[in-house]
Amino acid sequence: MSASFFRADAQGLTLALRVTPKSSRNAITGVMDLPDGQALKVAVTAAPDKGEANAAVCALLAKTFSVAKGAVNVITGATDRHKKVHVGGDPATLARTATALPSNKALPSNFK
């Protein structure tokens, strides 16, 4: 069984993401298995240019988790499709939201 795509800490949640920029819509599209665990699949319409896609990811996650945009920060992977993002807030509330995200069943890693 793969590790979950999120990990709670005292300040909130850290999420593992697989981001698809230049998509037709901004959406969380599922969870996929990776060799080192799971990642939440996130699609954004912004291009990966000058941080636009990262800003779109942060805005989408802020809306999804009902937190301020400033509470969502890219920790690693600023120039990569695979990212670690921290969402600040009450860990229990954020974990409930993460658990209830659409399509919490894992997609295969070759899913496009």
Would 80 be classed as within a structural domain?
A: yes
Domain range for 12: 6-101
CA distance 25 to 63: 15
Task: Measure CA 112 to chain center.
Answer: 17
CATH code of residue 43: 3.30.1200.10
CA distance 106 to 22: 23
Would 108 be classed as within a structural domain?
A: no
State the pLDDT confidence band at 3, using cuts at 50, 70 and 90. low
Give the global pTM.
0.87
Q: Which amino acid makes up residue 74?
A: V
Percent of the residues in the chain that have a pLDDT greater than 90, as a whole number: 80
pLDDT digits (tens, 9 = 90+) for 78-94: 999 999 999 999 999 99
Structure tokens at 6: 């999120």
Would 42 be classed as within a structural domain?
A: yes
**What is the count of structural domains for the chain?**
1
Kindly give, in sequence order, each residue whose CB lies less than 8 Å from that of residue 24, ignoring residues fewer than 6 positions away: 43, 45
